[in-house]
Every structure is written in structure tokens, then in C-alpha cells.
Structure 1
Amino acid sequence: MTKTALITGATSGIGLATAREFAKHGINLILCGRRLERLKTIQNELSLLTDVYILNFDVSHKTETSKAIESLPEDFKVIDILINNAGNAHGLDPIQDGSIDDWDAMMDINVKGLLYVSKAIIPQMTERQSGHIINIGSSAGKEVYPKGNVYCASKHAVLAVTEGMRIDLNPFGIKVSAINPGLVETEFSQVRFKGDKKANEVYKGFKALQAQDIAEIIYFVVSRPDHVNIADMLIFPKAQANSVTVKKNF
């Protein structure tokens, strides 16, 4: 039976790579994002492989999120797989210099957005007593690094929510997984540094993870037999040992 996956943050990076990977395997897609033109382009590309529906909304807006998911047509209403991928990092500042607007943006999208989307979808999974939720965390959810304070806090929260979900949804037979990448070469640093040229230095001197690497791992997780739940994965590039130890060759 063909499954349907809803992916947030599907217009770039890990979300887009996961959409492409799922499409190759015939999983129907609901792709969510804030950039409508990108969503349309991706829909045109992947519709050659599978059925694709797009939802243009911001996960940090509670009402907008619930309305968008309620608006799904009949053919896309049953969601088997939820990939909570939408997230961001803003700034890399010591706590005393941090921007409250940056803090709000990270908490609103990384934590509250994940909760809003999950809240809109979990009831149908509990009713059917099946489903798989994958929350995209970060190595920053495992350890705090200098100047990472609130971003790290948001990703620690993602792990806590994931563990809580896994406990609460266990009686319903719903799988809940966390995927925690280290350094992945995406638009992440461009967003964090707000277009500053230092974003270009982040991935120099070593081979970072690519979005496709994580997408393949996500597909592996969702394609395990029914009795297998991969609860938590931490993925680094070979050059990375922890959040602050990276072997660079210059």
C-alpha cells in the first residue's frame, strides 16, 4: 500500500533531499514551505515520480498551520509519515549579546512549529493506531557549544519532545524517531549569519555531510520492518568529532 509523507521545510536542504528520496521510492508527498514558487517548481519535478500536493504556510503560525492541514484534499488526508524538518538558526552570539528577535524566531519555528504541526496530525495517527513521526534535531540537541545557547536549547527541546512523544504514543503503535545531524552543507549557515560572508567559511577545509546523506538515512529509518523503530540517530561527517572538534585541511 502506498504511503503518504508530509514534510515541513521542504523547499531546500534536508527537506528537499528527503522529498526527492521518498519520491524515488514511490511515497506520495505533501510538501510544506513558505516559498510558494519553490514549492511549485519542486511539485512539477517530483510529480513525474509520485503524487505531490503542496501547502504554503509558516509552521510558527498556529492557526495557519491547522488550517493548512485541515485543507488537505481527500486523497492526501491520511498521513503515514510526518517529517518535522522545518527549523532555523539565527545568530551565533554570547547570551549577553543575543537578539531577542533571533531567540523568538528559533523557539517559534524549531519548537513551537514542530508542536503545531504534530498536534494537527497526531490525532489521525492515534485513531488508526499507526504512523511514524521523525523529528529532525541536531547534534546541538546533544551538547551545548559556545555562543550556541538558545539554538542549542531549542534543539535540546526537540529531543525532549521526541522522547515524550515516543512514550505517550507507544500505546497507539506509533513510531517516533529523532535524526540529529552534525555539520550539513545547506542554506543553514546563510540563514544563521544573515547572508554575511563568514557563512562561506563554515564548510571550508573538510567534507561536510550533504543533505542527500541525511535523506538516505531518513528513508532507511522509515523503511524498517514494522517491529523496528530507530529511536535516535546522531550523524557526523568523518571530519567532525563533536560540536567544536572538526579536522580541517587548509
Structure 2
Amino acid sequence: MSDAASNVQQVALITGASAGIGAQIAVLLANKGITVVGLARRVELIDDLNNQITGSGKIYSRQCDLSKEECILSAFQYVRETFPSITILICNAGMLKANFISESPGKDIKDLFDLNVVGTSICLREGLKLMKTNKTNGHIIVMNSILGHRIPEVPVPLFSVYPATKHAITALCQTVRQEIHFLKLNIKLTSISPGMVDTDFLSVYSRAVAELPKLKASDVAKAVLFALETPDYVQVEEIILQAMGRYDL
């Protein structure tokens, strides 16, 4: 969404757009006049977001289980046939299943990798193919986590393999960025790595994290907008943001 692209109709595809960070991003971009297509299983929640739109944009919904390749392919086909080429892809969908690794069922471990890593990889693949075919000046945002870079010194148990999936995302972003450069595509890729965010995502940790400082979903959405609004020649590769504890002096 740089100045050079401001005269082009912007279309943003956002995964996991029904709640939390994804919903905040969808509303923020639509209020900037961008056409937003939200993918999630609960499409009625995406549709309700239009009640928060005061700008000229609109949010469209498409039901999609982002842990299943056939669902992702169907959603991208719908977008390809219904809208102009997407200029923004935001890979936001993810899950956390709280448990000790020593007690995590194999299905839970597989589910985490299927959505957080495999689902994200397939969305990146399809988004890149679409932008490459249409020769789009595009921008890809991948929602990572501080846990994709380091494990906090203050131990919060029950992370299971979630940090491992996010470390995979960190490596994936670096690999895809090299691929974009090798193929000479005019596509930026930004990884957003927030710390703890006050959303329903943390409900399983309500006691353990009750007193810890937290970001708001809107803080993360504003970081996304910052990356999108940089000039064409500026690529913000990584944004790491943490909530600060406030102290009485």
C-alpha cells in the first residue's frame, strides 16, 4: 500500500480474519478503502465486521479450513475468479493447543504443524503464484510470534510444539524472501512477531498470564499498516513488538 500503488485498487486477502488480530487488521484496512477478503471457518463473524467500517472499503468472507489444502485451493480459486489480483496477502491463521509436550497427543502435535506451518506454506505458495502471474507489486505479511525467535525467560508452561511451529515460520519467511529476490518479483515480505496479545487466543493461560503486560490486537494491526505504508523501495523485513510493564516511580 505504498504511495506508488495508491492509485491501484488494493485487494487484501487475510487468513484467520474472524477474530482477534485478523479481525482488527481486516477492519483497519477496510477503513483505509481497501477491499478485504477474509478466510476463516466462522464466516458470520467476518461478515459482522462490516458494521465497524466507516471508510469506503468492504470486507468479504469465504469459509475455509486453513488446515486443509483443498479448502485453501478452493478459496484462492474463488478469489482469482471474483476479485482483481490481490495486492496484499496476510497469513494470520494459527492455533495454540496448551499442553506439556510430554502429555501432548500426536493428533494435537500434527494439528499445530498442519495449520501453523503447512497451511501458511500453502497460502504463501498460492499467493506468490497469483501475484507472479499478474505481475503484481505485492506485499505479504506473515503473522509470526516472539516465540519464533526466543523462549521467554519467565517460564509459561504448556507451550508444547507451538514455539517450534513459529521457529519454522521464521525460517520460512527467510527462504521465501530469497525466492522472491531470485525470481525478481516486486513483492515485499514482512514477518510480524508480537509478544503476548490480549485475545481469546490466551484464554487457556488466563491464570498464568493474568498479571503479565499484554499488547492489544489493534497494536499488531497498526504494525501491519506501518509495514504496508512504506515506500516501494523500503522493505520492513521483521517487526518484533512487546508490551512494556509500567512502573510507578
TM-score by length of 2: 0.87
Supply the AA of the counterpart residue of 2:167: H
TM-score by length of 1: 0.86
Alignment length (residue pairs) = 234
For 1:164, the equivalent position in structure 2 comes to 175
- Given the alignment of the two structures, is residue 30 of structure 1 paired with residue 37 of structure 2, yes or no? yes
Cα gap change, 1:76 to 1:202, in 2 (>3 Å): farther
- Given the alignment of the two structures, is residue 100 of structure 1 paired with residue 122 of structure 2, yes or no? no
Structure 2 Cα separation of the partners of residues 104 and 34 of structure 1: 19
Q: Which runs of 5+ in 2 are unaligned?
A: 1-7
Q: What SS is found at the alignment partner of 2:174?
A: helix
Aligned-pair CA distance for 1:222: 0.5
What whole-Å deviation, never above 9, does each CA across 1:209-230 have from its counterpart, x for those lacking one? 0000000110010110000110
Aligned-pair CA distance for 1:101: 2.0
For 1:179, the equivalent position in structure 2 comes to 192
Supply the AA of the counterpart residue of 1:181: P
Aligned-pair CA distance for 1:248: 9.8
What whole-Å deviation, never above 9, does each CA across 1:9-60 have from its counterpart, x for those lacking one? 1011100011111112111100111112212222454386413321111111
| Aligned-residue identity in percent | 29
Q: Which runs of 5+ in 1 are unaligned?
A: 194-198, 240-246
Aligned residues of 2:195 and 2:242 also touching (Cα < 8 A): yes
Aligned residues of 1:205 and 1:248 also touching (Cα < 8 A): no
Supply the AA of the counterpart residue of 1:112: V
Which stretch shifts more, 120-129 or 156-165? Answer: 120-129
1:1-12 to structure 2, matched below 5 A, reads: 1-12=8-19
What whole-Å deviation, never above 9, does each CA across 1:198-246 have from its counterpart, x for those lacking one? x32244224410000000110010110000110011110013xxxxxxx
Structure 1 Cα separation of the partners of residues 186 and 237 of structure 2: 14
Supply the AA of the counterpart residue of 2:193: N
What whole-Å deviation, never above 9, does each CA across 1:86-122 have from its counterpart, x for those lacking one? 00110131x2222222211210110011112222221
For 2:21, the equivalent position in structure 1 comes to 14
Aligned residues of 1:91 and 1:102 also touching (Cα < 8 A): no
Aligned residues of 2:104 and 2:160 also touching (Cα < 8 A): no
